[in-house]
Amino acid sequence: MMNIRTLALTAAFAAPGLAMAQNDPYLWLENVEGPNALAWARGQNETSLAELEAQPVFAPIHERALQILTSDERIAYPSLMGGEVYNFWRDAEHVRGIWRKTSLDSYRDDETGWDVIIDVDRLAESEDENWVWAGSDCRYPDYDRCLVGLSIGGADATVRREFDLQSRSFVEDGFAVPESKSGISWRDRDSVFYGPAFEPEDMTDSGYPRTVRLWRRGQARADSELIFEGAKTDVASQGVRFWDGDDYYDLIIRVPDFFSRHYFRYIDGEVRRIPIPEDAELAGMLDGQLLVELKSDWDVAGKTWKQGALIAAPIESFEAGAPELSVVFQPDPRASISGVTTTESTVIVNVLDNVAGRLLRFTHGDDGWHDEALDVPELGSISVVTADDKSDRFFYNYTGFLTPSTLFEADAVANTHTQVRSEPAWFEGEGMDVTQHEAVSADGERIPYFVVKPRGFEANGQNPTLLGAYGGFEVSRTPFYSGVTGSAWLERGGVYVLANIRGGGEFGPKWHQAALKEKRQRAFDDLIAVSEDLIERGITSPEHLGIQGGSNGGLLVGAVMVQRPELFNAVVCQVPLLDMKRYHKLLAGASWMAEYGDPDDPDQWQYIREYSPYQNVSEGSQYPRAFFTTSTRDDRVHPGHARKMVAKMLDQGHDVLYYENIEGGHGGAANLKQRAYLSALIFAYLHQQLFGSVDGAAERS
């Protein structure tokens, strides 16, 4: 069953607007598959890889990363469907992966009873295609047919095919969509909601579906019935069938911008708007109660419902224009809702409380909502993995920087849990320590951050330190266990730091909105403040401090590098946005203007230009030797950002490293082998830059 909370934005590969910005001498590098651009990328790869692979730490880090990432001791995370457990799994034997299932009893007891449904490696070989698994959408409640997604090389654009779970075969003449970012989701066995993303008239400026159509079995795609049209300037529109027990609701979701939603019911051939604030999100439904998560205050009939709250009302009252609202949960100022999940009779709210996870269970009765704290481990990160539609069973994961991931099976009503799986300790954590501190940003805001200290740590300013952050799109960064980071960095004497800067969602919508658009500099100031605090505390020094970020985090570290280069000696900038003058013209970039602003608006460009890394990097400045990575097959953040930044910096006389994976999608790696290789490159670079010498890094290995 589709989670209404998340709208999957998948769209066609949009060609960049090469007619613009002709004064940019590096514009030719935006031609993704252009022979000259690819030759340039391969040339940069050859130089960088020869150096990094020659580092003494590269081979052992690579070997260990591959062992960890392909180990059979990893947790096979479950997905509950129809009383059975489904799982997608990759290992050394199944590089592309297998989609498989087993019974719940078998899953609890051991992992020998897996029944393979699709072997992607065999499928790729038989069809002579570079398939990467892109998920499945199985028809509720029978779970007899699935829409299987397959990506070429890890791109966001996917092929979707109808698959029969009984016959274990793709359905001949079934629902199928060629490679694109089109939308398709089940309505019933013989019809789907469909949003084409092939022709410009069917796509938004962001490259996503603009229309929603009803496509019936046996029809040609072109003959599907148009039932909704959004605007060309929207991000996307999508149709879904949403279930509440045995009842269902057909919904259309229009996305005017990244943080706005218009929800409609499609009933009896009519489209009817559900009157909730544009920036609110439908989080689920239980017994006819529509759950709404507020991103700003909402005034209704003289009463204010507060930002960040989870509220509810009968769906009929919404449709009548007089919602009978009640508060399900209102977080404290230093807490936020990080997830909402429904079981058969409960609502589970995942709460971040000063960046530590806890779970609350809510039930609804005639006298309103009742809550109870669920019995879960404390002071770590908690995430609900999957929940059952026909019971109150759910699985959740618990982890921390020094605590390997542990999977629990729980009963929301009985408030019980049982440990089902636990990953081994991939590195020796004994003697290591985790502390939480706060830095004061330029405007006085307190910015929390975690410090993971290796054995024998001394605050002498000499510790190689890697600082990670994201700071955008209301994404929360929480403690996590990484065997690769632990073995490649912590065990070898490095310090790891995670900063919870503004722009993220750690403290709710207000924390995110504090760094939107013209306030973007706050996110950069926050990371700078944490960096300075680390130096002031003697944890590290500029010679030994590096920063790392990807995607929006790549923009973050790129901007901070340009603004305060003297603070760092290493910058890992992965699949980044960097040219903020043209980001909205490239691939899915137009969908992010609600986050960054519109560069074509002179007033908005005034504040964007102040931090855009590509526009501000200069010949006369002294920058740390940065490492930029991207992927040719990234059809979300255009590889031209990294390519152009590196080319410009090289021509200015700066020394930088560059690696472009020819496939790999937005994650930069299409399979586990590629992930291990990229990790080894990054940590070899960090050791080289931050340990002071290659010999010093090798001595700690």
Which tens digit of pLDDT belongs to each residue from 478-493?
999 999 999 999 999 9
Report d(CA 614, CA 126) in Å as an integer.
44
Question: Does 123 map to a domain?
Answer: yes
| Position 496 pLDDT exceeds 50 | yes
| Position 228 pLDDT exceeds 60 | yes
Question: Does 402 map to a domain?
Answer: no
Question: Does 672 map to a domain?
Answer: yes
| φ, ψ (nearest 5 deg) of residue 319 | -65, -25
Same domain, 468 and 546: yes
pLDDT computed for residue 692 by the predictor: 73
Question: Does 374 map to a domain?
Answer: no
Same domain, 162 and 49: no
**Chosen domain end from 179, 212, 245:** 179
Using alpha carbons, list the distances in angstroms from residue 498 to 436, 448, 453, 549. 10, 9, 12, 11
Instruction: Please give the residue range of the domain that contains residue 686.
Output: 36-66+447-699
Segment 502-515 shows an average pLDDT of 97
Q: How confident is the model at residue 376 (pLDDT cuts 50, 70, 90)?
A: very high
Mind telling me the catalytic residues? 551, 666
**Could you give the number of structural domains in the chain?**
2
pLDDT computed for residue 187 by the predictor: 97
CB 571 within 8 A of CB 556: no
Using alpha carbons, list the distances in angstroms from residue 222 to 189, 194, 216, 411, 608. 19, 11, 11, 46, 41
Same domain, 51 and 169: no
Segment 247-271 shows an average pLDDT of 96
Mean pLDDT (the chain, rounded): 93
CB 171 within 8 A of CB 145: yes
Same domain, 521 and 651: yes
**Chosen domain end from 158, 179, 200:** 179
Same domain, 687 and 643: yes
| Position 590 pLDDT exceeds 90 | yes
| Position 146 pLDDT exceeds 90 | yes
Q: How confident is the model at residue 13 (pLDDT cuts 50, 70, 90)?
A: very low
Segment 518-528 shows an average pLDDT of 98
Residue spans of beta strands (DSSP E) within 82-235 = 84-89, 98-103, 115-119, 131-138, 145-152, 158-164, 169-170, 176-180, 183-188, 191-195, 211-216, 225-229
Question: Does 631 map to a domain?
Answer: yes
Question: For the chain, how far is it from start to end, CA to CA, in angstroms?
Answer: 47
**593-626 tens-digit pLDDT:** 999 999 999 999 999 999 999 999 999 999 999 9
| Position 457 pLDDT exceeds 90 | yes
Is the pTM higher than 0.85? The answer reads yes
Percent of the chain surpassing pLDDT 90:
90
Alpha helices (H) along 322-421: none
DSSP string, 33-84: T-HHHHHHHHHHHHHHHHHHHTSTTHHHHHHHHHHHHT-TTS----EEETTE
pLDDT computed for residue 172 by the predictor: 95
Segment 222-228 shows an average pLDDT of 98
| Helix axis angle, 552-563 to 521-536, nearest 10° | 60
Beta-carbon-side half-sphere exposure of residue 466 (alpha carbons within 13 Å): 24
| Position 454 pLDDT exceeds 60 | yes
Q: How confident is the model at residue 155 (pLDDT cuts 50, 70, 90)?
A: confident
Same domain, 538 and 644: yes
Segment 372-387 shows an average pLDDT of 95
Q: How confident is the model at residue 633 (pLDDT cuts 50, 70, 90)?
A: confident
pLDDT computed for residue 668 by the predictor: 58
Higher-scoring residue by pLDDT: 19, 599 = 599
Same domain, 558 and 678: yes
Question: Does 258 map to a domain?
Answer: no
pLDDT computed for residue 113 by the predictor: 87
| Position 577 pLDDT exceeds 60 | yes
Same domain, 52 and 124: no
Same domain, 98 and 52: no
Same domain, 43 and 112: no
| Position 387 pLDDT exceeds 50 | yes
Segment 369-388 shows an average pLDDT of 95
**Cβ atoms within 10 Å of 697's Cβ, excluding its own:** 24
Question: Does 24 map to a domain?
Answer: no
**Chosen domain end from 179, 206, 224:** 179
Same domain, 101 and 58: no
The CATH number covering residue 496 comes to 3.40.50.1820
Question: Does 353 map to a domain?
Answer: no
| φ, ψ (nearest 5 deg) of residue 18 | -75, -10
Segment 30-37 shows an average pLDDT of 95
pLDDT computed for residue 4 by the predictor: 30
Segment 415-425 shows an average pLDDT of 96
pLDDT computed for residue 389 by the predictor: 87
Higher-scoring residue by pLDDT: 57, 23 = 57
**327-360 tens-digit pLDDT:** 999 999 999 999 999 999 999 999 999 999 999 9
| Position 17 pLDDT exceeds 50 | no
Same domain, 54 and 141: no
Q: How confident is the model at residue 22 (pLDDT cuts 50, 70, 90)?
A: low
**85-112 tens-digit pLDDT:** 999 999 989 999 999 999 999 999 876 7
Q: Please, what's the b/e burial string for 447-477 (b: 16 or more CB within 10 A of its CB; e: otherwise)? A: bbbbbbbbeebeeebbbbbbbbbbbbbbebb
| Position 19 pLDDT exceeds 50 | no
